[in-house]
Every structure is written in structure tokens, then in C-alpha cells.
A = this chain, B = another copy of it.
Amino acid sequence: MNPKGANPDPVAAVGARVREAARLVATAPSRQRDAALLAAADALEADAERIVVANALDITRAEEGGVSPTVIDRLRLDTGRVASMAGGLRQVAALPDPVGEVLGGWVRPNGLRIHQVRVPLGVVAIIYENRPNVTSDAAGLCLKSGNAAFLRGSSGAIDSNRAISSVLREAVASVGLPEDAVALLDDTSREAAVAFMQLRGIVDCLIPRGGPALIASILEHATVPYVIDGDGNCHVYVDASADLDMAERIVVNAKTQRPSVCNAAETLLVHEDVADSFLPRIADALAGVELLGDERTRARIPAAGLADEEAYATEFLDLRMAVAVVDDLDAAIDHIRRYTSGHSEAIVTADLAAAERFTREVDAAAVLVNASTRFVDGEEFGFGAEIGISTQKLHARGPMALRELTTAKYVVHGDGQVRG
């Protein structure tokens, strides 16, 4: 980083401290790491006023800068939201420790005993946008899994993030762990973000939480290993054999229960055989949702707009939905293959063969039969937490929680074996 000692790189300097802290956290017993989380939860509640006051500075700047009300809502903290952050830390503390789990073990013919053991990653870096709760949530998941958390939030939340990270660091130190086990990169410049993505040898895993511009920047600049929490252009396919009452419930839930999140459905595919009966009723059930369909859809839902190529490719994250009528299961699978972002894809069917083909042939992090795409989530899967949902295939795919913040180490025991 800085072989000559002159003009020290401040991002690398912080990174070196976080790396040293990570070493100590990695071998700390889970009792101590859990104590850090509980102390942090108590401290967040005790210091809630201080955090809310800091947050008010961010809110004022955002309002003066004309930031949209949706973004300001995500940014805003009150004592209730701080209490939720504290509750999240307590919930994570109560989860089982992933570290030390033996993933497998065997004995070789020469007597070597091999174990594969789950160990922390080391330094987990998170780069995120205007959601100050991520500072606390990410730090909690990292500490629980034996990692140090190296955080780079946005400039728009810097006062909130400073206040929260300072509370967390004090709590970590109070149980005898190094305060640098939670570190916030104070410099929110673009240059610092790029330097952050290039801390090879310091950062073991970078997890970006943000929109397409952030992902593009990671792809362009990052030299550290990363896991991408990607888009969700999710489909629900209503098969010819579907129970249409069930299909209606699932489509309405997948589209409208929380349209702004990645596991919400964006496109409805309907088998031609049930299009006449299903499309008019789903149009009624989706009142308030703007529908964009192909000609076969519009023949059954005259109020629907015309869906073009782009409509099928778009993650609306809003009360809009693309609709297409398909000839059969093959056409549904082909449509999904063409447009999927590899997040979550659902079929509603009573036909065993259709369910089996769909789950086998559709290539996504999660495939669902007769259930809403909204269930693809760390909490709903029973992981007790979530740091993101990976749409890539390496390391983690689907909801990421504590296990995905670990790696494995082979431990080999012999009694003097040498290779012949």
C-alpha cells in the first residue's frame, strides 16, 4: 500500500487497524462476541437521543438538497427506529454461532485425518447508501460471525453513521474486544470509495448494498473479492392446472405486499388455457396496479397498456406489473430464461411434472412452487437475519446471513506422514 512510509494512505491505514482487530475477533469466544452485541444494543437505546440529534443534521441537509421524500424516509431515525436496531442486535446475539461448525471430516488411507471447519472471513467490508440502520445491522452480523466490520456509508448519512458507529465501538471495547472490530470509513469521497474497493490483502469480502450505479462501480474498480446483492426481476407463472384462487392470492401478495423490494414479483405469466378465466379476475384483484401486457393479455384486460421488450426486462419496484400469456410451460420457462435476474421465480400449479420441470430448469437463487416470491428472505427462510440476497452463483446464492459471512479451513492431523 505504502511501502515508502510517506504520504500515508488513510483508507489503508484504517484498514490495517481493522485487519488487526479481525484477528482478535476471529478467535474470541462466542460468549464475548455475543456480549458485545448485547452491550451495543443497550448502548444504542441509552444513546438514542444523541443518535437522533445527529440524524437530524443529515435530514436537514437532505431536505435542503431536495432529496426525495422516499429517500428521506429511509434516512430518518427516531427513538423507535433506534430501538429496532437494538432489537435486531439482540436477535442476532441469540442465534447459534456459525464459527467452529465442522462441515465434514474423513480419514485418508495413509491415516491423515482431515476436517473442514467453518471459520470467519476476517474483514468484511460493506458499502451502502442512505440507510443508517445498516451500520448497526451489518456490524452485528459481522461480529456474530467472528468478523470485523469495515463500513463505508454514504455522505448523506455520515452524521448518523458516525454517531451509531461511535456507540457500537464503545460497546465493543467495553467487553474487551478491539474497538476497530467496527470501523466506519469517515471519508465519503468517491476516491476513498475506490480505495476501499481495492484494499486487497485487507478486505476479505466486500458486500455492496445499493443500486445499479454502485454495482457498476464495484465491477469497474473492485480488486477485493465481493458478493453482489443484485436485482430481482421475479416472475410468477400461473400454469394451466393452477388452483386459480391460490394463484390470485399468490400473485396479489407477490406484487403488492411490499412492491419496493427485490423479492416482489414484476411479471405475471399465464398459461393460455386459463387466460380467459384468470386474467379478468387478477386485473380486478390487482386494482391500483398498472398492468402492461402483450396482445393476448390485452384481449382479456382491455385496460392494460402495451408491454414492450423493456417492460419485461424492468424491475419496477412499484405498483406496475408486466403480463404475458404463454402457450405452455416451455414458453414460460423460455420467457423467464430470457428476462430473469436469477433471484426468485414461482410457479402456481397442481401438476407434479410441471412443478418438477420448473424447479429443475429455471436457473435462479430460489424457485418456488405454490408460494409467494416474497418468502425469499433470510428471516422467512429461518436464518434469523439477513445481510443481503445474492444473485450471483459463487460463495453465496440467495438470502445471505451468518453462514455466508464465513469461510472454511481444512485442518489436517497426521503422525509424521510424508508424500511418496
> Using a CB–CB distance below 8 Å, which chain A residues touch chain B?
23, 26-27, 106, 108, 112, 114, 119, 121-122, 200, 204-205, 219-220, 223, 225, 227, 243, 246, 249-250, 252-254, 257, 337, 355, 359-361, 363-372, 374-376, 380-382, 392-395, 397-399, 407-419
Q: Given A225-B393, A250-B416, A419-B257 in contact, is the A365-B108 Cβ separation under 8 Å?
A: no
Contact across chains for A219 and B223 when beta carbons are under 8 A apart: yes
Contact across chains for B417 and A375 when beta carbons are under 8 A apart: yes
Cα separation A220 to B370 with both chains bound (whole Å):
44
In angstroms, how far is the closest chain B Cβ from the Cβ of A399? Answer: 8
Residue in contact with A380 in the complex, picked from B108, B254, B369, B372, CB distance below 8 Å: B108
Q: Given A375-B419, A416-B243 in contact, is the A409-B381 Cβ separation under 8 Å?
A: no
In angstroms, how far is the closest chain B Cβ from the Cβ of A308? Answer: 15
Cα separation A361 to B28 with both chains bound (whole Å):
11
Cα separation A338 to B57 with both chains bound (whole Å):
43
Contact across chains for B121 and A375 when beta carbons are under 8 A apart: no
The 8 listed contacts between A and B (C-beta, < 8 Å) are A122-B393, A204-B394, A368-B412, A370-B415, A372-B418, A374-B419, A381-B410, A398-B410
Residues on the B chain within 8 Å of A200, using CB:
219
Contact across chains for B382 and A249 when beta carbons are under 8 A apart: no
Cα separation A380 to B414 with both chains bound (whole Å):
13
Residues on the B chain within 8 Å of A370, using CB:
413-417
Nearest chain B residue, comparing its CB with the CB of A356: B411
Residue in contact with A394 in the complex, picked from B225, B246, B371, CB distance below 8 Å: B225
Contact across chains for B411 and A359 when beta carbons are under 8 A apart: yes
Q: Given A219-B200, A361-B27, A393-B204 in contact, is the A372-B410 Cβ separation under 8 Å?
A: no
Residues on the B chain within 8 Å of A374, using CB:
418-419
Cα separation A253 to B398 with both chains bound (whole Å):
43
Nearest chain B residue, comparing its CB with the CB of A263: B419
Extra pairs beyond A122-B363, A253-B418, A368-B414 (18, CB < 8 Å) = A106-B382, A108-B380, A121-B393, A200-B219, A225-B393, A243-B416, A249-B418, A355-B413, A364-B409, A365-B409, A367-B409, A367-B411, A367-B412, A368-B413, A370-B413, A372-B418, A374-B419, A397-B410
Cα separation A74 to B151 with both chains bound (whole Å):
46
Cα separation A398 to B411 with both chains bound (whole Å):
11
Nearest chain B residue, comparing its CB with the CB of A243: B416
Contact across chains for A393 and B363 when beta carbons are under 8 A apart: no
In angstroms, how far is the closest chain B Cβ from the Cβ of A195? Answer: 15
Residues on the B chain within 8 Å of A372, using CB:
417-419
Nearest chain B residue, comparing its CB with the CB of A416: B246
**Most B CB within 10 A of own CB, among A106, A112, A355, A419:** A419
Cα separation A382 to B225 with both chains bound (whole Å):
28
Cα separation A419 to B376 with both chains bound (whole Å):
10
Residues on the B chain within 8 Å of A367, using CB:
409-412
Q: Given A27-B360, A371-B112, A413-B371 in contact, is the A394-B394 Cβ separation under 8 Å?
A: yes
Cα separation A361 to B108 with both chains bound (whole Å):
24
Cα separation A196 to B365 with both chains bound (whole Å):
24
Residue in contact with A417 in the complex, picked from B225, B363, B371, CB distance below 8 Å: B371
Contact across chains for A395 and B394 when beta carbons are under 8 A apart: yes
Q: Given A108-B380, A112-B371, A363-B26 in contact, is the A407-B397 Cβ separation under 8 Å?
A: yes
Q: Given A200-B219, A409-B366 in contact, is the A23-B337 Cβ separation under 8 Å?
A: yes
In angstroms, how far is the closest chain B Cβ from the Cβ of A148? Answer: 13
